[in-house]
Structure 1
Amino acid sequence: MVEKLKVSVIGSGNWGSCIARICAENTASSDMFEKDIRMWVFEELVNGRKLTEIINEQHENIKYLPNIKLPTNLIAIPDVVEAAKDANILVFVLPHQFVYKVCESLKGVLSTNCRAISLIKGLDLRDNELALFSEEIERILDIPCAALSGANIASEVAEKHFGEATVACRDIEKEGPIYVALFNTNYFDIRVIGDWRGLQVCGALKNVVAVASGIVDGLRLGNNTKAAVIRQGLLEMRRFGKTFFGGVHTETFFESCGVADLITTCAGGRNRRVTEAFVLTGKPIDELEKEMLNGQKLQGTITAAEIYEFLSSHNMTREFPLFTIVYRIIYEKAPPSSLIENLRTHQSFDK
């Protein structure tokens, strides 16, 4: 008899709770997985009660995914080691600034046959070098790690509106069917590819382009201007991936993790929304995060700073004019209108 796979979700924000719901719905009706799924929840008090208790009793994450019922086989656990213990699959879906601390706490406690998949959108800058989070998870925990990314606004997936996502892994034939069984539904369609580097480059850099789209919306410049920004952003995403990460395929940028995610994020994501408010109000980003994001952080502004530092260290800011001007608007108080002036100056870029 084949042993059933135990799944744990590491993270419980809006996207974490949403993807945990999908996984729990699938494991409840599959012979491949153990029915119950553990979800690590960073413990906090909500209305005077522990969030884990609320989730387990009401089957709802009232802070990060309100008004969405969670399956009864999804169990919230406040201790990350306890949540990950004996798991065969770890689904990492947490802000990238917490990855290293969490992984260090899991060293030496995982099953020998454990594997992971990263839903973390971002790149890590250390010593002027960029790292991919799936590869960092592999390095720290000594387990294989795939990645998932796509045009997935959590609230729309939670409402079960149809959407797509891309999974990238090293061994498509062996790992692909497992991840399709875990994530695929009639409203969340999964396609598997082998380019895990390209997938994660897209997932990180599209947030910087979304910040630029928010600037366009704050300036009330309309859809033609936003389309120009998105086109330029896609060019720079592709050039960045091809220049700095080996094995990145052009085709990946036309998957859900690429152009589809870019369009969705520039149209409706929180990076666009908060940056629009940044232009309209003149308030600092950190203040707007507190007002608008219910305890969550923007990834686009953080990534913009990391990318600018990296490009500066390589003397390549001129080759990436959109990424560069986004940084200067957010962090150096360049006027928002300089976004368009900068694009116009570099109209012959990437010939």
Structure 2
Amino acid sequence: MERVCVYGSGNWGTTAAKIIGENITKLPNFDHKVSIYSHFETFDGVSLSDVINKTHENPKYLPGRKLPENVYATSDEKEALDGATMLVIVVPEQFLESSLRSIYKNIDGRRLKIISLIKGVYIYKDKIMTPTQVIEYALKVTPSVLCGANIANEIAGHEICESTLGSFIKSEADLWYSLFHSDYFRIRCIRDTYGIELCGALKNVVSVAAGIADGLGVGSNSKAAILRVGFKEMRQFIYHRHPYTPPEVFYESCGMADLVASSLGGRNHKIAVELVKTGKSFAELESEMLGGQKLQGPMTAKELYIFNKHEGITEKFPLFTTVYQIGYEKKDPSEIFNVLVGLKLE
């Protein structure tokens, strides 16, 4: 009997629990109860997990969307993980390592089937690690990943969309597919994780570039050209790091679709528009618009620049480099269009 725990009660974690809760009652060999581990916090002075269980709604992170009655939340991590065989990890990337240490202490040596719904990568001066690699190192399992053009509020409202499920273990991919796939949330599987996760991180940098273009007030042609270069650099960088990435990664929801959705109005795009219009720094705008929360686009642009500089390849990625320079070195935003160059027939 499989038992599912969703580790994280934010916007996307709560939506994931909603999807699974709706699907799991139709599946044999599954415990129909779905637990959500909710880090202790309050809403109107009451424990958020208690509010979720009483109202069947997460008013803090997914207001107005009812959860199935078979979904319950707890801030007791051991209780949430008790008996779990399948674990959905949905925490901010900066909390992943500490979460994994805590998970390890509470699973009593059990080998869990794990899927990551985390977007982001860990870029150091001389190496890059994805969330599934961090999970694999900490828990000695081979995780799957779910990533795509997935705006949680729209999915929770049953608006049709796709997502990419990456896995190397077919039996586990089949189980995750059965938990997530529905008439409104269409899942497509690929035998990959690294390329999928890199797409999810790099598209944030390109969406900043798209926001810079929109902040300058240019038309669709100019913005489309920026997106073309950004998509090209995403593919080029991923193949530089992982030559065996399946080509379909770039044309599934985790690739092109996620890039388009993020560049039409995601938070990275919006903050870049304001960067151009106000002349303020990313840090100032994050403080004003997001209460100090760090966005992945600006952060990834900076980390990527440091990595590429160490590798001596900044010139191969002019758009990535220019986004960093505009955001952190006060380069004129209009120089984003210098990445558009002519090409003669050879």
Whether the TM-score (by the shorter chain) exceeds 0.5 is yes
Q: Give the AA of the match of 2:160.
A: F
Is 1:36 matched up with 2:39? no
Contact 2:149 2:261 in 1 (8 A): yes
Aligned partners of 1:162 and 1:106: how far apart in 2? 33
Give 1:42 shift. 2.3
What is the Cα deviation at residue 347 of structure 1? 4.7
Q: Structure 2: any 5+ residue segments left out of the alignment?
A: none
Q: Which residue of 2 aligns with 1:115?
A: 113
Amino acid at match of 1:195: D
SS in 1 for 2:62: coil
Q: Of 216, 228, 231, which aligns to 1:231?
A: 228
Is 2:48 the partner of 1:90? no
Across the aligned residues of Structure 1 and Structure 2, the Cα RMSD in angstroms comes to 2.0
Q: Does structure 1 conserve the Cα–Cα contact (< 8 Å) formed by 2:213 and 2:222?
A: yes
Aligned to 1:161: 159
Equivalenced residue count is: 344
Counterparts of 2:185 and 2:154, CA distance in 1: 11
2:282 corresponds to which residue? Answer: 285
For each residue in 1:270-320, what CA deviation from the matched residue of structure 2 results, as whole angstroms up to 9, or x when unmatched? Answer: 211222122223333344334444775421112111211110110111101
Determine which of 121, 135, 138 is the counterpart of 1:137.
135
Show the 5 A alignment for 1:1-351. Answer: 4-110=1-107, 112-172=110-170, 174-293=171-290, 297-341=294-338, 343-344=339-340, 346-348=341-343
In structure 2, the CA distance between the partners of 1:330 and 1:85, relative to structure 1 (3 Å rule), is: farther
Check 1:289–1:79 CA distance in 2 against 1; reply closer, same or farther (3 A cut).
Answer: farther
2:12 and 2:111 map into 1 onto residues whose CA distance is 26
**SS of residue matched to 2:224:** helix
Q: How far apart, CA to CA, are the structure 1 residues paired with 2:105 and 2:302?
A: 33
Distance 2:46 2:38 in 1: 14
Contact 2:14–2:58, Cα closer than 8 Å, also in 1: yes
Q: Percent identity?
A: 42
* Compared CA separation, residues 296 and 16, structure 1 to 2 (3 A): farther
Secondary structure of the equivalent of 1:160? Answer: coil
Give the 3 Å change call, closer, same or farther, for CA 113–222 of structure 1 in structure 2. Answer: same
Q: Does the 8 Å contact 1:242/1:248 carry over to 2?
A: yes
**Residue identity matched to 1:132:** T
CA 94–59 in structure 1, closer or farther in 2 if over 3 Å, else same:
same
Deviation at residue 165 of structure 1 after TM alignment = 0.5
Alignment CA distance shift 1:188-1:241 (3 Å):
same
User: Which amino acid letter does the alignment assign opposite residue 152 of structure 1?
Assistant: N
- Structure 1 gaps of 5+ residues are none
CA contact (8 A) 1:153 1:269 kept: no
CA distance in 1, matches of 2:294, 2:39: 15
Distance 1:277 1:189 in 2: 34
TM-score by length of 2: 0.93
Deviation at 1:247, TM superposition (A): 2.1
Q: TM-score, normalised by structure 1?
A: 0.92
* 1:39 CA displacement: 1.2
Q: 1:81 to 1:307 in 2, by over 3 A?
A: farther
SS of structure 1 residue aligned to 2:63: coil
Identify the range of structure 1 (130-139 vs 81-90) with the bigger mean alpha-carbon deviation: 81-90
Alpha-carbon distance between aligned partners in 1 of 2:292 and 2:22, rounded to the nearest angstrom? 27
